[in-house]
């Protein structure tokens, strides 16, 4: 009995070693496609709950108030929608004014327009994941080292420590959207 008790842990260790050495089961093509779909779904969830559409999607009015326009989802401030002139720039002062679609804002930093994040040439079609990550976590326009800083109200500072798998999910979702041709206006410095 004593000999069996001595050999039992050695046998358990040998079985564990053998099991760990086994090759992981191979995934088939269908499960890879499914995991890509899951990644896109999780990205959509993160974009929706993170409030990204609040600024990056033009709105349509419904009986329940404004909602993101499904045809223009994540396409940024419409280039064809001009902002009304501000009669006196001193009115802005320390205040922030938003366009009714919440796709443009005027504040002490000037006027900013939300970016087109659809996979169109006027959006993020040519962007790499690394560019997207740099834009979101470092606040660089177009994800370029020499790019201007992202301006308010874009809260990029909130995403500095975002997990890479979440950033990849968001990027996958954005790349899955229908491309929208919308060249968003450039920011305008504050009027002195």
pLDDT tens column, 171-181: 999 999 999 99
- Whether 133 and 164 have beta carbons less than 8 Å apart is answered as yes
The token pair that represents 130 in the structure block: 């690394």
Q: Are strands 110-113 and 104-107 parallel, antiparallel or unpaired?
A: antiparallel
Residue-wise pLDDT for 7-61, tens only, equals 444 444 444 444 444 554 554 544 445 689 999 999 999 999 999 999 999 999 9
Residue 4 exposure: Cα atoms within 13 Å on the Cβ side: 1
Average pLDDT value for residue range 175-189: 97
The C-alpha atoms of residue 26 and residue 157 are separated, in whole angstroms, by 40
pTM over 0.85: no
192: three-class secondary structure by DSSP: coil
């Amino acid at each position: 009995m004593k000999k069996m008790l001595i050999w039992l842990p050695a046998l358990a260790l040998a079985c564990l070693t053998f099991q760990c050495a086994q090759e992981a089961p191979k995934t088939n093509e269908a499960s890879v496609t499914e995991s890509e779909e899951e990644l896109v779904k999780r990205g959509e969830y993160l974009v929706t709950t993170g409030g990204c559409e609040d600024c990056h999607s033009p709105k349509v009015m419904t009986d329940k108030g404004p909602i993101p326009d499904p045809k223009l989802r994540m396409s940024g401030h419409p280039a064809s929608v001009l902002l009304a002139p501000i009669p006196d720039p001193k009115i802005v002062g320390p205040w922030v004014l938003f366009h009714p679609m919440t796709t443009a804002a005027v504040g002490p930093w000037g006027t900013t327009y939300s970016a087109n994040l659809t996979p169109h040439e006027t959006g993020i079609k040519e962007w790499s994941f690394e560019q997207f990550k740099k834009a979101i976590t470092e606040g660089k326009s177009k994800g370029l080292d020499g790019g201007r800083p992202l301006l308010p109200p874009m809260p990029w500072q909130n995403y500095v420590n975002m997990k890479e798998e979440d950033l990849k999910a968001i990027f996958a979702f954005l790349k899955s959207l229908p491309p929208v041709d919308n060249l968003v206006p450039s920011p305008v410095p504050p009027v002195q």
